[in-house]
Structure 1
């Protein structure tokens, strides 16, 4: 019968019995395993080998990979490979005493090899991936996880991973990214975890716990300024009932300005501090979002410094520093005019795009249309003026040419004509007096 989990990329020669005995001898449990092999108790043999495999952490570094590869190859011959692989993966998270410096790299390479030995659609790959994820998290090696993330969705489709397992995976990735300081990836995977809940689960304790975690992550993230995806998530919408103050705070950051945030702080005095939210971070983010809204609703594309100062509740001296910050956050593009004390908006980000924003966009388009109409009218007038001037210049040139012809041209033509007539008459007269010319013939000689 074919092996349940046929391994890939491993080349070994020998039967299970021969290789198991060889492995047992290497681990100093040869006598115990020999009797089990004779009774054809494959899983009991593997159990002995896996328990004794902790000794592999003290063997020379050059023998480490080969020994583990053989052990895994033997495990994959069992119908209960999941149970044995889980123990092996746990062992690999423990220190490798034979190589303190290179130990984490050796363990990770071995885990990766196990992952690659399994066929792409083998569900065991999920368990190995989770072991790799836990290992990378415990060793602070998040950068090594990123290459896996590009293919993770396709892999989980191949493994037919259940929603609960997907959620567990996304949460673990989000936490690993958070600990590594990658707030963007952390937030994206929290959102993925939220989307794994069915409609009838959105108010469950698990769903509300993740929704609240996602909300806090979004508010405190230094790179997250768009809250619409989060706000539209059914699990987050349910927070309006289970966590109404938090939901109100999210709505302020998603759609409102600094003045509304300050009103929220007054109405719910001490809430931000009590929930251990970073007061300074929230204040800074709210000012940047307010700046973005101010730029979005400005039709003239010029925002006076005093208007920025008033909206952000800052001094005039601080305005240019906040302009730099909002550009750095990629919420607005533009340039400062220090001479005019205005900020020239080139591009801005709409925080929310609803009916109000459509009206603003319509007003802005109307303004642009009126401006373009005026420019077109001015250009037509300029063109008409240029054509009229060109016509006048042409008429003036023709008039000058005409005046030149009247003073000299006709007289010269008449005198020339008289000479021609006289010449013609004189030539005719001479020909008349001479008579016709006689042609020469042979008789004249």
Structure 2
């Protein structure tokens, strides 16, 4: 596929009738369309060509792309292209017998060419896009379309697709991604599909079906630990009335701990197993989420191993393995102190941030403020003590210098010639007489 506003990629020379006759010769139906060509019955000619077009799957590989490009070009000359293109796209999902190895690649290239031959705002592009998705699902080639999904919303605006078509596309992407093992992308597009429902549709059968699908995907995903986005979707909130037990389970995973989960299982005995929700996966995820909550509410930033073991309902010997798992899940950052048997928390993820968490954060900030105030007071005392000691040391040095007759740093020695304001005294000069000779 190409970026939006890609120019048409196929250029041919000749009238529709001439090119149609050439295509008919290639498909061995020239006699069948001869009279139609003379009467210039464009759509009737195209019907004959499309009915015969499966024969293209047995022609030599090197001729495949050119033949299909010509067929698509002819279709686009009709005012009823929307009637013919879906049949061509459907044909391309069938095996290409002349090229068992390269066939899927040839078919995908042809579907992509069809997409790019259409004008950017042509609503037929939506139909071709859906055909490409079906093809990729059949052949397990989801990775080929992932780079272009970022343009999908822009394309849909250009095609002026309604909410139902958008939902259809998002669901198809989610299902194709799921089969390809891309759980994260699958979940994101289920959420996008849910958001296409209007307020008066959130309790509809289809909306609730997709909401349950999103809920189950989130619970069983090995990478999904944040459930707040899901809880905020109106269709999911409506589950509290249509599927109350499922909604209760979602609330437990969004906001509560392992103890609450165990209580849920006691109150709804057999529910998890009956719904095929994979008990082991849910138990593991709930322990990791409980660990994250424990780390978030600790104020000392040190969690004893015994406290972790109690919260996760595991043996003390298992604590370090769960520490590794919670760090790997990127729910908590920190390091183990095996000597002190504590986990030192560096960073943690809040599962939900409401009034309770604001209070906890306020308490934590108050604790930090108090600690920093004590540190600042201690530093000021230390600084004042150092300055006082420095002053005492200087006074002691001056005292010792004064006792030895040596001037201190602030005194000047007597008779210092450097004192220009005074002169040293000399004896009076003796007058010379004759007796001195």
TM norm structure 2 = 0.93
SS of 1:136 mapped into structure 2: helix
**1:31: which partner in 2?**
31
**2:43: which partner in 1?**
43
Per-residue Cα deviation, 1:136-179 (whole angstroms, up to 9, x for no partner): 00111111120221111111111111100100111111111111
Structure 1 residue 407 displacement after superposition? 9.1
Give the Cα separation in 2 of the matches to 1:7 and 1:351.
Answer: 48
8 Å Cα contact 1:7/1:76 also seen in 2: no
**2:74: which partner in 1?**
74
8 Å Cα contact 2:121/2:158 also seen in 1: yes
**1:302: which partner in 2?**
302
Give the Cα separation in 2 of the matches to 1:361 and 1:216.
Answer: 32
8 Å Cα contact 1:203/1:238 also seen in 2: yes
Query: Which stretches of structure 1, 4 residues or longer, exceed 4 Å deviation after superposition?
Result: 406-414, 417-420
Structure 1 residue 202 displacement after superposition? 0.3
Structure 1 residue 272 displacement after superposition? 0.4
The answer for unaligned runs of 5 or more in structure 2 is 1-5
Structure 1 residues 421 and 265, CA, compared in 2 at 3 Å: closer, same or farther? same
- Answering whether residue 426 of structure 2 is matched by residue 421 of structure 1, we say yes
Give the Cα separation in 1 of the matches to 2:16 and 2:407.
Answer: 124
Structure 1 residues 7 and 397, CA, compared in 2 at 3 Å: closer, same or farther? closer
Structure 1 residue 410 displacement after superposition? 6.6
Structure 1 residue 294 displacement after superposition? 0.2
Give the Cα separation in 1 of the matches to 2:301 and 2:146.
Answer: 41
8 Å Cα contact 1:223/1:329 also seen in 2: yes
Give the Cα separation in 2 of the matches to 1:400 and 1:76.
Answer: 108
> More helix by proportion, 1 or 2?
1
- Answering whether residue 317 of structure 2 is matched by residue 317 of structure 1, we say yes
8 Å Cα contact 1:7/1:73 also seen in 2: no
**2:386: which partner in 1?**
386
SS of 1:276 mapped into structure 2: coil
Structure 1 residue 116 displacement after superposition? 1.0
- Answering whether residue 81 of structure 2 is matched by residue 93 of structure 1, we say no
Per-residue Cα deviation, 1:269-326 (whole angstroms, up to 9, x for no partner): 0000011110000000000000000000000000000000000000001000000000
**2:350: which partner in 1?**
350
TM norm structure 1 = 0.92
Give the Cα separation in 1 of the matches to 2:120 and 2:400.
Answer: 93
How many equivalent pairs are there? 422
Structure 1 residues 410 and 258, CA, compared in 2 at 3 Å: closer, same or farther? closer
Give the Cα separation in 2 of the matches to 1:407 and 1:72.
Answer: 108
Larger Rg: 1
- Answering whether residue 341 of structure 2 is matched by residue 341 of structure 1, we say yes
SS of 1:421 mapped into structure 2: coil
**2:3: which partner in 1?**
none
The answer for unaligned runs of 5 or more in structure 1 is 1-5, 435-445
Structure 1 residue 32 displacement after superposition? 1.3
Give the Cα separation in 2 of the matches to 1:288 and 1:335.
Answer: 16
Give the Cα separation in 1 of the matches to 2:34 and 2:423.
Answer: 143
Using the TM superposition, name which of 391-400 and 308-317 deviates more.
Answer: 391-400
- Answering whether residue 197 of structure 2 is matched by residue 193 of structure 1, we say no
Q: How does 1:154-173 map to 2 (within 5 A)?
A: 154-173=154-173
Q: How does 1:94-173 map to 2 (within 5 A)?
A: 94-173=94-173
CA RMSD of aligned residues (A): 2.0
Give the Cα separation in 2 of the matches to 1:148 and 1:132.
Answer: 12
Structure 1 residue 398 displacement after superposition? 2.4
